[in-house]
Amino acid sequence: MTEAVQARAAQLFTAFEKRLDHDRAELIANGDTAAGRAGGPDFDAVRFIAHRIVGSARMFGCEDLAEPAGKVEGLVDAGADVSAIVQAVNELAERIELTLSKGLGSPDWNGFPS
């Protein structure tokens, strides 16, 4: 990797870290309120965040988030029981917090042109 690419990669990692922190807050805020909406539960925002984590976690060195995020997405898509979804959302938020406290791992950019 050239120095320019390394610098750009570092910027992207910082941006991802910030977004993940924001995602965690959104999951906590949305999880419970989505479950208790007047017109019925609406987990669209939660699903969107979870789906995005599934697609990006490995690339930014936190592959361990892909599994709990995939679980949230799967439960929402399957129209699972609200309490099960809320529990999965909370688990995901906790895993994110743990990941952020440890710091992101090495990215999986296998095959990135050198």
Partner 1 sequence: MRARESICQRPGRRPQPEQAATPMRSVVVLDKPEGFDQTSLLLGGLGFNVVPLLDTGSAKGCRVALINPDCDPELEICASLSKICKVLLTTNKRDFSFKIQAVHQGAQGLLSRPLNAVEVFASLEETRKSDMPEARVLIVDDDELTAAVYAMALEECSVRVAVITNPLLAEKAIAEFRPDLVIMDIDMPQASGLDVARAIRLDPQFTSLPILFLSSVSRKEVQEEAREIGGDDFIRKPVDIGYLVKMVRMRAARAVELRQIMARDGLTGLSNHVSFKEALTTELNRSARAQSEFTVALLDLDRFKSINDTYGHQVGDTVIQTFATLLKSSLRNVDVIGRYGGEEFAVILLNANTEQAEATMDRIRQEFERIEFLASDQVFHVTFSCGLAGSKDERGGEALLALADTALYEAKAGGRNCIRTYLPGCGSEF
Which among 28, 40, 39, 38 has a CA at the least distance from the CA of 86?
Answer: 28
Cβ nearer to partner 1, comparing 32 with 108: 108
Site for partner 1 in 83-112 (CB under 8 A): 108-112
80 is an interface residue for partner 1 by CB under 8 A = no
Name the DSSP letter for residue 95.
Answer: H
Cβ 99 vs Cβ 19: under 8 Å: no
76 is an interface residue for partner 1 by CB under 8 A = no
> d(Cα 56, Cα 66) in Å, to the nearest integer?
8
Name the DSSP letter for residue 64.
Answer: G
> d(Cα 103, Cα 20) in Å, to the nearest integer?
11
- The one among 28, 35, 42, 51 contacting partner 1 by CB under 8 A: 51
Number of residues that bind partner 1 (CB under 8 A): 27
113 is an interface residue for partner 1 by CB under 8 A = yes
Nearest distance in Å: CB 70, partner 1: 8
Nearest distance in Å: CB 89, partner 1: 18
Cβ nearer to partner 1, comparing 12 with 98: 12
